[in-house]
Structure 1
């Protein structure tokens, strides 16, 4: 997800859902960097989300 910031910059965040039904929850990562375009912000958010998922112990 992105949102516009002042001076034409863009913020990025990513939502990661886990579980099913009433046992599901979302983890939202709000990233501290800002970007010159929404595309760059989305690319960064996707990379950070994948890195977070890989870092979790899924056993």
Structure 2
């Protein structure tokens, strides 16, 4: 019975590590996406002609 609980606990740890890896990858992608959107927005604003009155 002891080996069963050891196997179950090892599998739970593996699943938690995998989920943590997914969360980290999602956060990295989110930060990169925000940075790219900010860069594109900044470039498009600077490329627009100035309005003269």
Q: TM-score interval w.r.t. the shorter chain?
A: 0.3 to 0.5
TM-score by length of 1: 0.36
Please say which structure displays the higher CA radius of gyration. Answer: 2
Higher strand fraction (1 or 2): 1
- Structure possessing the higher relative contact order (Cα contacts under 8 Å, 6 or more residues apart): 1
Could you state the TM-score of these two structures normalised by the residue count of structure 2? 0.39
